[in-house]
Chains A and B, each alone.
Chain A
Amino acid sequence: NAGVTQTPKFRVLKTGQSMTLLCAQDMNHEYMYWYRQDPGMGLRLIHYSVGEGTTAKGEVPDGYNVSRLKKQNFLLGLESAAPSQTSVYFCASRPREPGELFFGEGSRLTVL
Chain B
Amino acid sequence: AQSVTQPDIHITVSEGASLELRCNYSYGATPYLFWYVQSPGQGLQLLLKYFSGDTLVQGIKGFEAEFKRSQSSFNLRKPSVHWSDAAEYFCAVGSGGYNKLIFGAGTRLAVHP
Contacts and interface: CB of A to CB of B under 8 A. Distances in A.
Nearest to B47: A100
Interface residues of B, number: 22
B113 interface: no
A41 B104 CA distance: 8
A43 B90 contact: yes
A52 B49 CA distance: 27
B43 A50 contact: no
Given A90-B43, A105-B43, A48 B90 contact: no
B100 A48 contact: yes
Contacts of B102: 45, 59
A32 to B, nearest CB: 11
Give chain A's interface secondary structure class. strand
Give chain B's interface secondary structure class. strand
Contacts of A50: 99
Nearest to A44: B103
A39 to B, nearest CB: 9
A44 B103 CA distance: 7
Interface of A: 31, 33, 35, 40-45, 48, 50, 56, 58-59, 90, 92, 98-101, 103-106
12 contacts: A31-B99, A40-B106, A42-B6, A43-B90, A43-B92, A44-B103, A48-B100, A90-B44, A98-B32, A98-B51, A100-B49, A101-B46
